[in-house]
Amino acid sequence: MKPLLCVLFCLLITFKHVFLNKVNNSCECGVGDVGINRRIVGGTTVQPHQYPWLVALMLGSKLHCGAAIITDLHLLTAGHCITFGVHYKDLSAYIGMHDRLGSSHSVYRIANGVKHPNFTSNAVRDINDIAVLTLEKKLKFSDKVRPICLPSTDMDLRNLALRVAGWGKTRQGALTSSRYLLETKVKLVPTATCSKSNIYRENLVADTMMCAYSLGKDACQGDSGGPIFATHSRTHDEKWYQIGIVSWGIDCAMPDYPECGKPSDDIVSMRIVGGRRAEPHSFPWTVAITKNNIMHCGGALITDRHVLSAGHCFKWDKLNNLVVKIGLDRVNDQTNVETRSVSHSVIHERFHSTPVRDENDIAIATLDHPVRFNKYITPICLPQSGEDFGGRIGTIVGWGRMAVDKAPSKFLMKASLPILTDEECLRSKLRKHLEPTMLCTYSKGKDGCQGDSGGPLVVFQPDGRYVVVGVVSWGIGCADNRYPGIHTKVSFFIDWIKKHSASGNTCSS
């Protein structure tokens, strides 16, 4: 999810428009253990199955988002949980879970996912951030699996004691999520107070969002899409109602937000064109190649001493002017960053450049000495030779320009782009310049730009791993809606890549 500080939640006024008439009435909703008052960041574990509507949405073995059961077939989550490179088919729903390492929960596949038709996103916020997921088969309700109640539009939701629960990270910057289900209490913050902060004043949509906050307590990465819930006097505080959905914010449980303080301009001006800031070190194979201390190209670590990049990144430059930075997130923060020189580079022997395009635009750079893999530095997997990714969603990452006339980003940025089939690619305005070794991506307003060249286009596979499917190569302008972005098709060059990186070590597959 986006970095959190003061969490914002979508008000559930949209519920009446989203499957409300399909709620299963075979058992009472919202019945949990109301009497236990245990207190994610600043939270504590809950009793097992105390909140039997809570669901963990898993992306392979990684916690991706939270959700809540609302019928025996439907889950409620955030729209951004099935956006930005993640399709609902990539997710599994862990139902009836408390301990992530336990075995008592059930795993369900997702048969369908519907975002709100007016869902939109920019580099900071998500609007109408709500989605309904349909399970592949119906749930059997029990003491451990039960739906939460949905509020009616005439309920007074002010002055409620709110809870938020999930398995997300327990602090900003943590690399792993909580083993056990955690909860914490938060309180509503008046819209006028929330709007005092520049970032919230400019991005808060009062009709569909609300601020919730408590110093030192917050939701964090991995809690996105999870419910914020409360009991209500209408049912004598004996039932739980879902009041909101964890949506967006800045950092996790930092002080003085949203009441006061101005976030750094570095945060609010983040825009790879049309993209958003990547969670720090979430793409630990991505490297920055600088030239005389200026961002030059991107690349992807494929072994402990080899970087996959574009041929044009090395064709016209002296290697002694290039420096590779591995483990980088924020350009001006070198913590945990490894710096290497390039001892040798191999550009594909059929590389050819014209004023419009680069052909066979691929290169392998050899580092002057190997890196050691850790939680910040990990190699990317290669696809199978000839593997086709048309119709999939890819993610590009890099520190390149945020527009044709803008400066490079100070943070690693990401953008999700549909990968066109070869047939769709050949129907574009660039068809006269395309070759079978090229791959097209297109999304209105999103693209790689100068400085992103050579960076990876990755796809998340069902086995829980990312593979690099493309190398950012060329295009017309940046995010020009008339033209797709062009990438070197990695699956076409697998034998060549393995030949020139054979001396390196990588993680076992």
Residue 181: φ, ψ to 5°:
-65, 130
Q: What single letter denotes the amino acid at residue 267?
A: I
CB 171 within 8 A of CB 41: yes
The Cα-based distances of 347 to 9, 366, 449, 471, 496 in angstroms read: 49, 11, 21, 13, 10
**Of the residues 74, 116, 296, 312, which is catalytic?**
312
252: left (phi over 0), alpha (psi -120 to 50) or beta: beta
Q: Catalytic site residue 312?
A: yes
Q: Catalytic site residue 453?
A: yes
Dist. CA 271–CA 199, nearest whole Å: 15
Q: Catalytic site residue 306?
A: no
Q: How many CB atoms lie within 10 A of CB 53?
A: 25
What is the token pair recorded at 391?
């119709």
Nearest to 360 by CA among 188, 489, 225: 489
Nearest to 55 by CA among 110, 6, 121: 110
**Of the residues 121, 416, 453, 491, which is catalytic?**
453
Instruction: Report the Cα 130 to chain-centroid distance in Å.
Output: 16
**Of the residues 223, 304, 361, 447, which is catalytic?**
361
Q: Each residue of 424-446: b (16+ CB within 10 Å) or e?
A: ebeebebeeebeebbbbbbbeeb
Q: How many CB atoms lie within 10 A of CB 25?
A: 9
* E runs forming strands in 362-451: 363-367, 393-398, 413-418, 438-441
Residues with a catalytic annotation lie at 312, 361, 453
